[in-house]
Chain A
Amino acid sequence: MSQSLLQVLDLEKYFPVRGGLFSRVQSYVRAVDGVSFELKRGRTLGLVGESGCGKSTLGRAVLRLIEPTGGDVRLNGESIMGLSHDALKAKRREMQIIYQDPYASLSPRRLVGETIQEPLDVHRIGTREERRAKVEALLDVVGLRKQVLSRYPHEFSGGQRQRIGIARALALDPSFIVADEPVSALDVSVQSQVLNVIAHLQRERGISFLFISHDLAVIQHVSDDVGVMYLGQLVEFASSSDLYGNPKHPYTHALMSAIPVPDVHHKSKRIVLPGDVPSPMNPPSGCPFHPRCPKAMSQCKDVVPPRKNAGTEEKPHFVRCHL
């Protein structure tokens, strides 16, 4: 039975908005507004949503790269919230991150070899020869040649840099990796290469991923469970097959129908949502989706919908909707 690797409980990240003469705090941007979910060992959770929904903030808050303002994160049952600097550093070995922008995520003035080896150096793992050997082994895993080590990041293409980033994340043998839009900035033909690397890591090494993306098709390809975010809240959460086969939240419906499908015969009844994604600085009252929701009722404006389980105990299908 897969045990729980990561538990997120009512996680909140509010950013204060300062203004006025003395930079007083005027209001808060609720980037992450009470999110809870569980990630089991060996499984991948896909987090999908559009810009401003808070998915990137959530990914970083889970690793405490951004300090949450409320809630709890538990790794292997142990809370990481109150940990001291050193204890947290030790925990960092278990959880790593790969980024969207292959150009900004590697230091331009450091050799690739140094970048990949750095985690080992910082945590003082092994001797120098052992570290070197490990780095070379990592290159194999991601499909890059040894010559890569003595070059600079700008000499490589986006897909190759992304692989370098993955190698760096793997250096400490984490059990859990947050992947923040890792393929969004890549060309289609390169996307599939990098996705295959990730799939390989899932299968062969049993690494759990928190895979963040705005692309539902990519998410379906890599995830076991999927969470849909809107304005800082998790509006739907289910196993991949349940979500795609039987979406319950109106936003999920709209999102799925909005994706342009590369298939000419696909006749979608496209649900075009009115308006734009509202800014997280001024979230609507009640259910955050109500101004754009084609099925909004009067209570949607006033009451934040509670989380209901439309599935079973073992296979939950959580939805936040009044319907």
Chain B
Amino acid sequence: MSSGETQALLSVRNLTVEFTTRYGPVRAVDGISFDVNPNETVGIVGESGCGKTVTGLSLLGLVPSPPGRIVAGEILLQGRDLVSLPEDEMQALRGQEISMIFQEPMTALNPVLTVGSQMVDVLRRHKKLTRRQARASAIEMLAKVGIPAPAKRIDEYPHEMSGGMRQRVMIAMALSCGPKLLIADEPTTALDVTTQAQVLEQIVELQDEFHMAVILVTHDLGVVAETCQRAIVMYCGEIIETAGIESLFDSPRHPYTRGLLDSIPRLREEKRDELPVIPGMVPDLLHLPPGCRFADRCEHATDTCREQRPALKTSQQSAASVACFHPLD
């Protein structure tokens, strides 16, 4: 989905990640392809088990390697394939060109080191600054992410800070080397609603200022609606729909997306009616049906749906795509 002459920043083609389990190999991510343009915010949405987190991790080569590995596909960062990159080059890349922030800041930050020493570490590794320069840079970064009195806070330990602040420290660390792409894996799920609002706003502001692309991995459609320009919907390891944010919410084409949007309780609705429900459950990745993976929960399913896997088809006019034999209109 590159627009005109701008080449996509990130191009994922047919990525497949397999995990070995006692019952056999399981494909957490099964042949997905998508692009991310520079300065764009893309949301990868789906429920637990759909493969969105594994997708995020595989972009940075962080898929835990004894059980999991990338068995097929390419991840092209400005033309460079990350899948075949040796580990030392990958390490140089992490933090510098692509950064990641995680859901739980308490476990992502080392509890026995001060915030400052962790940030200085990252800066010195990638930018070869002296300790003093790195410290100054870190303080500046903390101020940018909206932490008050950064010169004082830089010497604090993670547990002395609130959840929202820790998350901001993590963002500061991730952005300190000016990466081109930020992957945020459920960055606000563990935060309070009011803090969530702050942190999301911060991410949007920083994205602008740093001219970076952001991939926001989340299950929260509300967060996607507020921050993303495009969204990719995943189900059972596959991409089933991608679209610009407005058309995704106004007229979703895949029945799963539609079902998901309908089943979310919202404010200012008729109270106490039965919430529409997507019947059944997500299929077991070990016993996947031969056809469309959503077929047994879909009220529009036909025999074709049950027998053949629909491919992701891009529409000509809108750069949106959907993997369905009978997309909704």
Task: Give A residues with C-beta under 8 Å from B.
Answer: 50-51, 157, 159, 187-193, 195-196, 199, 214-218, 220-222, 240-241, 244, 254-266, 270, 272-273, 276-277, 279
Q: Kindly supply a per-residue 1/0 record for chain B positions 174-201, scoring 1 wherever the CB is within 8 Å of any chain A CB and 0 otherwise.
A: 0000000000000000001111111011
Q: Is the pair A214, B219 in contact by a Cβ cutoff of 8 Å?
A: no
Q: Kindly supply a per-residue 1/0 record for chain B positions 210-245, scoring 1 wherever the CB is within 8 Å of any chain A CB and 0 otherwise.
A: 000000000111111110000000000000000001
Segment with Cβ contacts to A, from B21-29, B106-114, B124-132, B267-275: B267-275
Q: Looking at the complex, which one of B194, B198, B269, B272 makes contact with A199 (CB distance below 8 Å)?
A: B272
Q: Decide yes or no: A260 and B277 within 8 Å by CB, A187-B219, A189-B263 being known contacts.
A: no
Q: Quick check: is B329 within 8 A (CB to CB) of the other chain? A: no
Q: Quick check: is B47 within 8 A (CB to CB) of the other chain? A: yes
Q: Is the pair A221, B281 in contact by a Cβ cutoff of 8 Å?
A: no
Q: Quick check: is B164 within 8 A (CB to CB) of the other chain? A: yes
Q: Decide yes or no: A276 and B195 within 8 Å by CB, A188-B263, A262-B221 being known contacts.
A: yes
Q: Which A residue sits closest to B201, measured CB to CB?
A: A272
With a CB–CB cut-off of 8 A, which chain B residues contact A220? 265, 267, 269, 271
With a CB–CB cut-off of 8 A, which chain A residues contact B266? 217, 261-263
Q: Decide yes or no: A192 and B263 within 8 Å by CB, A199-B272, A270-B197, A273-B194 being known contacts.
A: yes
Q: Quick check: is B261 within 8 A (CB to CB) of the other chain? A: yes
Q: Is the pair A199, B260 in contact by a Cβ cutoff of 8 Å?
A: no
Q: Is the pair B272, A221 in contact by a Cβ cutoff of 8 Å?
A: yes
With a CB–CB cut-off of 8 A, which chain B residues contact A193? 277
Report B147 CB to chain A, min CB distance, Å: 11
With a CB–CB cut-off of 8 A, which chain B residues contact A255? 193-194
Q: Decide yes or no: A276 and B222 within 8 Å by CB, A189-B259, A264-B245 being known contacts.
A: no
Q: Is the interface of A mostly helix, strand, loop or mixed?
A: helix
Q: Which B residue sits closest to A214, measured CB to CB?
A: B193
Q: Which A residue sits closest to B228, measured CB to CB?
A: A264
Q: Is the pair A214, B271 in contact by a Cβ cutoff of 8 Å?
A: no
Report A288 CB to chain B, min CB distance, Å: 14
Task: Give B residues with C-beta under 8 Å from A.
Answer: 47-48, 162-165, 192-198, 200-201, 219-226, 245-246, 249-250, 259-261, 263-269, 271-272, 274-278, 281
A266 to B274: give the CA distance in the assembly, Å: 24
With a CB–CB cut-off of 8 A, which chain B residues contact A276? 162-165, 195
Q: Is the pair A188, B264 in contact by a Cβ cutoff of 8 Å?
A: yes
A159 to B259: give the CA distance in the assembly, Å: 17
With a CB–CB cut-off of 8 A, which chain B residues contact A262? 221-222, 224-225, 249, 261, 264, 266
Q: Is the pair B275, A258 in contact by a Cβ cutoff of 8 Å?
A: no
With a CB–CB cut-off of 8 A, which chain B residues contact A221? 265, 269, 271-272, 275
Q: Is the pair A258, B265 in contact by a Cβ cutoff of 8 Å?
A: no
Q: Decide yes or no: A258 and B197 within 8 Å by CB, A217-B266, A217-B267 being known contacts.
A: yes
A156 to B196: give the CA distance in the assembly, Å: 31
Q: Is the pair A189, B222 in contact by a Cβ cutoff of 8 Å?
A: no
Q: Looking at the complex, which one of A187, A266, A272 makes contact with B47 (CB distance below 8 Å)?
A: A187
Q: Which of A189, A190, A272 has the most CB of B within 10 A?
A: A189
With a CB–CB cut-off of 8 A, which chain A residues contact B221? 188, 262
Q: Is the pair B265, A199 in contact by a Cβ cutoff of 8 Å?
A: no
With a CB–CB cut-off of 8 A, which chain A residues contact B192? 50-51, 214, 277
Report A72 CB to chain B, min CB distance, Å: 30
A216 to B250: give the CA distance in the assembly, Å: 23
With a CB–CB cut-off of 8 A, which chain B residues contact A270? 197, 201
Q: Decide yes or no: A199 and B225 within 8 Å by CB, A157-B281, A217-B266, A272-B198 being known contacts.
A: no
Q: Is the pair A196, B272 in contact by a Cβ cutoff of 8 Å?
A: no
With a CB–CB cut-off of 8 A, which chain B residues contact A256? 267
14 CB contacts below 8 A, A to B, read A159-B281, A188-B47, A188-B264, A189-B47, A189-B260, A189-B263, A192-B263, A196-B277, A220-B271, A259-B267, A261-B226, A262-B264, A264-B246, A264-B250
Q: Is the pair A199, B274 in contact by a Cβ cutoff of 8 Å?
A: yes
Report A62 CB to chain B, min CB distance, Å: 23
Q: Is the pair B225, A261 in contact by a Cβ cutoff of 8 Å?
A: yes
Q: Is the pair B249, A264 in contact by a Cβ cutoff of 8 Å?
A: yes
A220 to B72: give the CA distance in the assembly, Å: 46
A257 to B226: give the CA distance in the assembly, Å: 12
With a CB–CB cut-off of 8 A, which chain A residues contact B198? 272-273
Q: Which A residue sits closest to B148, measured CB to CB?
A: A275
